[in-house]
């Protein structure tokens, strides 16, 4: 059975009910899809999501940082990155780690940062991923998009139970 993503932070709400988490997860999914398909359509969909959420001016910086983060992560990941289709109500391991990493960056949780980096990035490239993630997390904060904290033990527990976490 897949745990609810709400279990990660102890709330009864879905992360997709919150715009900051949706921007991270859907932005990641759509940017990865653009790289995988070679189509700009997923990137245009990202622009629409971000500009609707935070406005055109803030979207410019956010999308630049998202793009850099995903680009660095793709080059530094331990294995090929995966994602669920847009608007899916599940998150895969890479999506869960991405969400955990950005959340931890914003909430100053070095233990979770280290756990996420160690699970998603090659050891020799962790600093590159950390820098790109911090820049993206900072850009989100500048746009008043603050993610909820996710305790390290909840994140690692969810990842160890299943390869997909169901969002309700």
pLDDT in tens, 16-52: 689 999 999 999 999 999 999 999 999 999 999 999 9
Q: Are 99 and 147 in contact (CB under 8 A)?
A: yes
**Which tokens sit at 32?**
């990865």
pTM score of the predicted model: 0.86
Inform me whether the pLDDT recorded for 99 exceeds 70: yes
**β-pair partners for 90:** 166
The Cα–Cα gap between 66 and 46 comes to 10
Inform me whether the pLDDT recorded for 118 exceeds 70: yes
Inform me whether the pLDDT recorded for 110 exceeds 80: yes
Q: Are 43 and 30 in contact (CB under 8 A)?
A: yes
**Which tokens sit at 135?**
């820049």
pLDDT of 16: 66
HEC secondary structure over 95-125: HHHHHHHHHHHHHCCHHHHHHHHHHHECHHH
pLDDT of 13: 56
Between 80-94, 98-112, 119-133, 148-162, the lowest mean confidence (pLDDT) is in 148-162
């Amino acid at each position: 059975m897949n745990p609810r993503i709400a279990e990660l932070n102890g709330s009864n709400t879905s992360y997709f009910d919150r715009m900051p988490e949706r921007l991270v997860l859907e932005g990641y999914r759509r940017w990865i899809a653009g790289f995988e398909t070679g189509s700009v359509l997923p990137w245009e969909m990202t622009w629409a999501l971000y500009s609707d959420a935070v406005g055109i001016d803030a979207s410019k910086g956010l999308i630049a940082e998202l793009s850099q983060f995903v680009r660095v992560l793709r080059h530094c990941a331990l294995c090929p990155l995966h994602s669920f289709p847009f608007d899916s109500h599940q998150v895969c391991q890479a999506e869960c780690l991405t969400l955990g990493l950005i959340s931890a960056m914003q909430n100053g949780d070095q233990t979770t940062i280290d756990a996420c980096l160690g699970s998603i990035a090659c050891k020799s490239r962790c600093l590159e991923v950390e820098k790109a993630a911090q820049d993206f997390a900072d850009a989100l904060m500048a746009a008043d998009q603050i993610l909820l904290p996710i305790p390290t033990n909840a994140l690692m527990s969810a990842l160890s139970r299943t390869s997909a976490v169901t969002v309700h």
